[in-house]
Amino acid sequence: MFDGIYFANPDYLWLFLSLPLLVGWYVFTRKKIQPVLKISSLSGFRVKSNFLARLQPLLFVMRLLALSAVITALARPQTMDVSTRTKTNKGIDIVMAIDVSSSMLAQDLKPNRLTALKRVAASFVDDRVSDRIGLVIYAGESYTKTPITSDRSIVKNALREIQFEGLIEDGTAIGMGLATAVNRLKDSRAKSKVIILLTDGVNNSGFIDPKIASELAVEYQIKTYTIGLGSNGTAKAPVGLLPNGKFQYGMTKVEIDEELLKTIASKTGGLYFRATDNKKLEEIYEEINKLEKTEIEEFKYYNYEEKFRPLVLLALVLLFIEWLMRNTLFKSFI
């Protein structure tokens, strides 16, 4: 009944403390309200008690109810309807450049590097509610998997489809992956442009030098976060193909060109991270999520509906009924 009702002037509710005092005053002075006749014997006046005389306290109760309604009305009960409108002041365009070379099937992350990355990247996409995101994948060459879009379902579906099938030349063309990502963002009108470049190897393919690609990122004011993916030491990774077409796995040395990744990040104003296990990879994406905040301005509109008018009307009706009864039915008792 009272859900969603607020009081604009709640201090007036303290006046309810006066009601017990009024009740006490009425009880104390009730016998003095009517005239008293003192005689030696009441035997000649034995009649049935008058029913109206018993109802006389009803007049006082009605006054108390009227006073309660007035106090509540003074406190101004009201309902409040809040509507919210959000405005993105600083949108961010993000391109995730993902290495899909055969080494991404290494099993030092569970179940393998690529699957672990896809799971974490999908959570990252879910958190970027107000941003546009695109996907670039690369191995020995690179291409755009998804142009930048605000439709997160498209990006997540594209992420799920990523797998190593030998569709593009194997290898690690970091320069080409970065250059393709820069190309997707260079014409963006967003206030902030970000690339998240992930690799698990060294630049050994492609015809674009990673340093030239990083200079392009600087020219177009694109910040680049780089992630080196892989445990320290060795990892179980594909080392060849079996006659049935499946990979043969063996222990291989984990080689990541950390100096190159640090240089790219430093030049473009980003940061370099090293993910050696699943938990560390999750923490890295959470850190990037915190670093790249979208500025959102929220407008709230309040619509108040006053509820005191029915209470004032109730108080007037009670006082009128009390006055009418006092001057008609109970006139002989007053």
Note the pLDDT tens digit of each residue in 142-152. Answer: 999 999 998 99
> What is residue 120's predicted lDDT score, i.e. its pLDDT?
96
What's the pTM value of the predicted model, to 2 decimals? 0.64
What are the tens digits of pLDDT across the range 19-74? 888 888 877 776 665 555 566 555 555 555 566 666 777 888 888 888 888 888 88
132 pLDDT higher than 80: yes
Distance CA 91, CA 293 (A): 9
Total residue count of the chain as it appears in this document: 334
**Residue type at position 191:** K
Asked if residue 98 lies in contact with residue 198, where contact means CB atoms within 8 angstroms, the answer is yes
Least confident stretch, 55-69, 74-88, 249-263, 279-293: 74-88
Higher confidence at residue 331 or residue 262? Answer: 262
Complete domains list, the chain, with CATH: 5-82+302-333 (no CATH), 92-293 (3.40.50.410)
Instruction: Point out which residues pair with 172 in neighbouring strands.
Output: none
137 pLDDT higher than 60: yes
**Mean pLDDT of all residues in the chain?**
85
Higher confidence at residue 52 or residue 235? Answer: 235
Distance CA 124, CA 129 (A): 10
What are the tens digits of pLDDT across the range 180-197? 999 999 999 888 899 999
Distance CA 51, CA 280 (A): 85
Q: At what angle do helices 57-74 and 18-33 cross, to 10 degrees?
A: 160
Query: Any idea which residue has 């990673």 for tokens?
Result: 210
Confidence of residue 176 (pLDDT cuts 50, 70, 90): very high
Higher confidence at residue 178 or residue 290? Answer: 178
Higher confidence at residue 120 or residue 42? Answer: 120
Supply the DSSP symbol for 130: T
Residue 38 three-state SS: coil
User: Can you give the C-alpha Rg of the chain in angstroms?
Assistant: 40
Distance CA 28, CA 287 (A): 73
Distance CA 291, CA 269 (A): 12
Mean pLDDT calculated for residue range 194-220? 95
CA-nearest of 222, 215, 224 to 193 is 222
> What is residue 261's predicted lDDT score, i.e. its pLDDT?
96
Question: 10 Å Cβ neighbour count for 49?
Answer: 7
In this structure, are strands 222-229 and 192-199 parallel, antiparallel, or unpaired? parallel
